[in-house]
Each structure stands twice: as C-alpha cells, then as structure tokens.
Chain A
Amino acid sequence: MPINYYILLSVALFSIGIVGVLTRRNAIIIFMCIEIMLNAVNLLLVAFSKMHHLRALVADRATTVGTDAQLFVFFIMVVAAAEVTVGLAIIVMLYRNIHSVDINFLNRLKH
C-alpha cells in the first residue's frame, strides 16, 4: 500500500477535525474533534516510521531505524491523556459556574 494513501487518510481526518472545531458550539464536541486531529497525526507518524524502516531494512537486516517515531507517538498519547484530564476538569468547572458548555457563553475574557 503506497504511503500517499496514508497521507490522504490523515489529511482527511485532520480536515474533518478542523470542520468539527469550527462548526460545533458544544465545548466537549470541540474537544473530541481535537482528539481526532491528534490521532490523524499519530497515524501519519507511524506510517512514516514504517516506511523509513523498510527503506533501511534493505541495507541492514538488524536495523532499528524508525523506533524513535513510534516512541514519539507514545509520548504524544501520554501528553494527550494529561491534556484530556485537565481540559475536562476545566469544562466541568465552567459548567458548574454558568450551567452551560456553549462556547458562545464562554466569552468572559472579552468583557
């Protein structure tokens, strides 16, 4: 399977995430669309690591080229998990204060 299929899939997923962030007003749905974008980037990183590894495998049978990219994806997942906990805590706190998660009401910084 050529690499450009993976590129196109990741671009499509990322664009769907962008459209979701721009169209929805519910803060939690916007958060989920950000997760979709993160996953699109992760998928592309893994595909590129595999491609790079297969290239290097031709020259050297025992190479470990491409491991770094997969660990990078692992660290992205770790940071995403931490981000989700703090973000959802912020959303819960906002809901407790203004009884809504509509982002059009979350404009207190403007005034």
Chain B
Amino acid sequence: MSILEILFWFLTALALFGALMVVFSKNPVHSVLWLISVFFSISGHYILLNAQFLAIVNMIVYAGAIMVLFLFVIMLMNMNTESEPQKSKWLRIAASLSGGSLMLVLVAALKDTSGKVTGVFKVEGNIGLIKNLGQVLFTDYVLPFEISSVLFLSAMVGAVLLGKKETNSIIS
C-alpha cells in the first residue's frame, strides 16, 4: 500500500464520517464544524487528483467564506441542542430507507465500471495548475466569467434587500 493509497483511504473515511456527523449531530454548531472537516478532506482529494487550483479555491470559498457565514447565522439565531426540532421516529426511518435505497440503486447501476478504467492517481498532467486554467478561463470562458460577476452583484443586492429591516412590512 503506497502512501497515496493510505492518504486516499484516510481522506475518504474522514469525508464520510464527517458527512454522517453533519446529519446526525444534535447541535447545529457541531454540524458546521464537521462540515468544515468534510470540505477539507474533499480539498485533500483535489490535491491527490492534482487539481491544486480547485483545492485552494475550495478551501478559501467553502471552508473559509461559506462556513463563516453559516456560523454567523447560527450564532445570530442562538440555536442549541434544546431548541433543536426533531422529526418523528417513523419519518426518520422512512427517510433513511429511501436515501439508502437511492444509494443502492446508484451503486448497482455503476458497479460494472470496475476495472475498466484505472490510473486516476498518476501525478502527471498539469491541467489543474493555475497557469493552464487561467489561460482557458480568460480566453474561452471569458463571457461566463463576466456573467458570473453580474450574478454576484444581483446576489449581493438580493441579500441586502432581504436582510434589511423592513419599515412597512410586505409579508404580513
């Protein structure tokens, strides 16, 4: 077992365990912290796949910006284990069964891919490096890049509009 395989299995176990803890932990703050560990392990997977730019972007955008936003909102609402609403037992069992059967169907449909393609792990090829990605981004994909800036502007305006305290209420 090479060092890369050990790293792969460690990151896989960390991602799956963290995702399970996000779903099953009672305290929302613990959920956010486990979700950060999931994002870091997925960043590790990106590094193993030699996609270094995406690994850094994943860390900065998800584990940095988005998770801080989630933590802010949760602390703003002062949520804890006592105020956490729970669904009924049968509903939870049914939801777990349906999620598990979705996984079963997908695994059964995709298990025949085994052995046909190998070698994702070779550390060669430089498409994930920032030089190559930047060249393609600012030549072929420059229009979607600019459109995404308009998307961000509209998202910012929407967030400010929604978060503003309304003087004459529209809702009720």
Hey, which bits of chain A sit against chain B, CB under 8 A? 1-9, 11-20, 22-26, 28-29, 31-33, 35-36, 39, 42-43, 46-47, 49-51, 53-54, 57, 64-68, 70-71, 73-75, 77-86, 88-93, 95-97, 100-102, 104
B147 to chain A, nearest CB (A): 10
B interface: dominant SS: helix
Q: Which residues of A contact B53 (CB under 8 A)?
A: 70, 74
Please pick, from A12, A35, A53, A77, the residue contacting B125 in the complex, using a CB distance under 8 A: A53
- Contact flag A2-B114 (CB < 8 Å), given A53-B127, A85-B159: yes
Please pick, from B66, B121, B171, the residue contacting A81 in the complex, using a CB distance under 8 A: B66
Q: Which residues of A contact B77 (CB under 8 A)?
A: 92, 95, 101
Q: Which residues of B contact A101 (CB under 8 A)?
A: 77, 79
- Contact flag A51-B69 (CB < 8 Å), given A36-B22, A73-B54, A97-B172: no
B35 to chain A, nearest CB (A): 5
Hey, which bits of chain B sit against chain A, CB under 8 A? 4-5, 8, 12, 15-16, 19-20, 22-23, 28, 31-32, 35, 38-39, 42, 45-46, 49-51, 53-54, 57-58, 61-62, 65-66, 69-70, 73-74, 76-77, 79, 84-87, 91-92, 95-96, 98-100, 102-103, 106-107, 110-111, 113-115, 117-122, 124-125, 127-128, 132-133, 136-137, 141, 144, 148, 151-152, 155-156, 158-159, 162-163, 165, 171-172
Give B161's nearest chain A residue, CB to CB. Answer: A89
- A109–B2 CA distance with the chains assembled, in angstroms: 56
Q: Which residues of A contact B102 (CB under 8 A)?
A: 15, 18
Task: Assess the A12–B16 pair: CB atoms within 8 A.
Answer: yes
Give A18's nearest chain B residue, CB to CB. Answer: B99
- A1–B48 CA distance with the chains assembled, in angstroms: 10
- Contact flag A89-B163 (CB < 8 Å), given A17-B19, A54-B125, A97-B171: yes
Task: Assess the A12–B54 pair: CB atoms within 8 A.
Answer: no
Q: Which residues of B contact A92 (CB under 8 A)?
A: 73, 76-77, 162-163
Task: Assess the A8–B51 pair: CB atoms within 8 A.
Answer: no
Task: Assess the B151–A79 pair: CB atoms within 8 A.
Answer: yes
Task: Assess the B16–A16 pair: CB atoms within 8 A.
Answer: yes
What are 25 A-B pairs at a CB distance below 8 A? A1-B5, A2-B117, A4-B114, A6-B120, A16-B19, A19-B23, A22-B98, A26-B28, A28-B74, A36-B22, A39-B38, A42-B58, A43-B45, A49-B127, A51-B117, A53-B127, A67-B127, A67-B136, A73-B54, A74-B57, A75-B148, A77-B57, A81-B152, A88-B69, A96-B165
